[in-house]
Amino acid sequence: MELAGAHRLIELASRSPDLPPALGTEDPVAAWITEQRARWSGVRAWFVGDPASVPTVERLAEVAREAVVSLTRTLGRLNDRRTRPVDRAADFRTLARWFTACPDDRAAHKLWHAAFSLAPARHFHLQDDDPDLVAPGTSWWNAPPVEVPIRLRTRGSTSAAGRPSAAADHSLTRQWIAQKRRRERAQLQDAVRRFAGQGPLSFRDLAVLKAAEFDLLLALIDEALSAPRCPDGTRAARTADGRLLLTLQPPPAGDTELVPIDTPSGRLWSLDYRLEVKDALAASEPRAAAGGAS
């Protein structure tokens, strides 16, 4: 609903006698109208948004998708851990029991090398500032100690790591998705205007439909055919969002001629049904205006 239409409905509703009495010099009607307009602006920002911001419902949908993906990955890891025949935690507990059973440090070192196959310490490649002071064949027991840089002891590397790569910028992708959704909503609105408020439309008169109009027609027919049939064969239904009222009338008895409807996906042949679509919101506005005028 456009903002002007919403304000008009709020002004009509302000004439209700259910408003509280005035307190002092404050006009309760003006305060109520201001409050309702603020609420409507909040609802519109939630579902529609404005050119400067993305609707809140789209942001929530994006966060929900990310949460579902994260939850699915976590559940997958938990399921793999539960169904995996080898449990790393159980392996480490078993290895710990073996270490406690070692008779001396030599046996513990052998078990360590057999279990982890680790090479000697990484700082053994470091050299003294003056390599000529110590002969190459000098035993480690007799050689002077070599100072180990703090970075090597704490991070396992002597080189300073460079700056991490910049995080990927997905703002353009999000803008493209938001524009695509707005374009799809606009196409849906145009398709609704193609059918709503036009009176009974014969399939013969439709002739050519756009892709969005054809998708909407199929959805409307599906809604109508799911409704019970009246004695005269007519079916009446309401869309799931409650916005559109549908009436599908079968062709006259004996009329078995098929009429074509051209669409971007091909040509559809169907009996000459008559479909009437009414906008429930637009139908309720005249009644509200009539009630306010009385």
Does the pLDDT of residue 98 top 90, yes or no? yes
Q: Parallel, antiparallel, or unpaired: how do β-strands 258-263 and 266-271 relate?
A: antiparallel
Does the pLDDT of residue 23 top 70, yes or no? no
Q: Parallel, antiparallel, or unpaired: how do β-strands 244-249 and 235-238 relate?
A: antiparallel
Decide: 126 and 106 in contact? Cβ < 8 Å. Answer: no
**Residue in 226, 273, 225 with CA at minimum distance from that of residue 252:** 273
Report DSSP letters for 110-145, one per residue.
Answer: HHHHHHH-PPSPGGGG---SSGGGS-TT--TTTSPP
Domain range annotation of the chain: 3-66, 199-293
pTM of the model: 0.36
**Length of the chain (residues):** 294
The three-state secondary structure class of 101 is coil
- pLDDT tens readout for residues 45-61: 777 777 677 778 888 88
Find all residues with CB under 8 Å of 187, minimum gap 6, and list them. Answer: 210, 212
- pLDDT tens readout for residues 166-208: 777 788 888 888 888 888 778 777 777 777 777 888 888 888 8
- pLDDT tens readout for residues 99-147: 999 999 999 988 888 888 765 555 455 666 777 777 877 887 888 777 7
| Most distant CA atoms of the chain, gap in Å | 113
